[in-house]
Amino acid sequence: MLPLGRVLRAVGSLQQFRCLCSKAYGDALPSSCDVLIIGGGGMGASSAFWLTSKARQRGKKLNVLVVERDHGYSKASTVLSVGGVRQQFSLAENIQMGLYGHDFIMNSQKHLGDVDLCFQPHGYLIMATSQGAEILTRNSKLQNELGARNKLLGPEALRKQFPWLCTEQN
Ligand SMILES: Cc1cc2nc3c(=O)[nH]c(=O)nc-3n(C[C@H](O)[C@H](O)[C@H](O)COP(=O)(O)OP(=O)(O)OC[C@H]3O[C@@H](n4cnc5c(N)ncnc54)[C@H](O)[C@@H]3O)c2cc1C
């Protein structure tokens, strides 16, 4: 068990906090927890979710506390990037992580219960010059093989689909 008062004072998070654990503590600071996570963005919330889920699956109780200083998440990268879950990478591991994240979000109710994440997928448009075309083609092939569906468009098809786009090369 972590003695919370001392730990939180050490990281300077005591001013404001929000608990994203099974029990809402309001403004009262619990005196201890098994795992303390500083920051309730995507990484902190996900760590808390998986730690408690896995412990529950094993019939164990794990008291995980997430401390967040910004109640509105106004500066969290997680919130600033909610428009997309990128899967267009060149490394298989990155593509698989993107696919996993996308699947989790699309099936969030299965994992999180009756929570609407309001996710509106819009997709990505990754551009390359003629020098980068070979790499883009190779990446696209790998992505499609792993299940990250995408298609390659040449300049003409791009102009047709995105008339605002300048496809000229200097
Ligand atoms: C435009 C954009 C697009 C992106 N696209 C992708 C993508 O497609 N795929 C991908 O994998 N990644 C993407 N990213 C990156 C991804 O969003 C971040 O890597 C990820 O959200 C980081 O999560 P995090 O929880 O580490 O940080 P954050 O979301 O920033 O959360 C950190 C939290 O910790 C809190 N905190 C910090 N210090 C303290 C403290 N001392 N006490 C209490 N709380 C504290 C902060 O208030 C904050 O809420 C993108 C980022 C941006 C900006």
Three state DSSP letters for 32-64: EECEEEECCCHHHHHHHHHHHHHHHHCCCCCCE
pLDDT at 15 (0 to 100):
42
27 CA to centre of ligand 1 in angstroms: 24
Q: Tell me: the pLDDT tens digits for 87-121? A: 999 999 999 999 999 999 999 999 989 988 888 88
Q: For ligand 1, which residues put their CB under 6 angstroms from it?
A: 11-13, 38-44, 67-70, 73, 76-78, 80-81, 84-86
Residue minimizing CA distance to atom 36 of ligand 1: 39
Average pLDDT (12-28) is 49
44 CA to centre of ligand 1 in angstroms: 9
What's the Rg (C-alpha) of the chain? 21
Burial of 3 (0-12, 13-18, 19+ CB in 10 A): exposed
Least confident of 17-26, 54-63, 101-110: 17-26
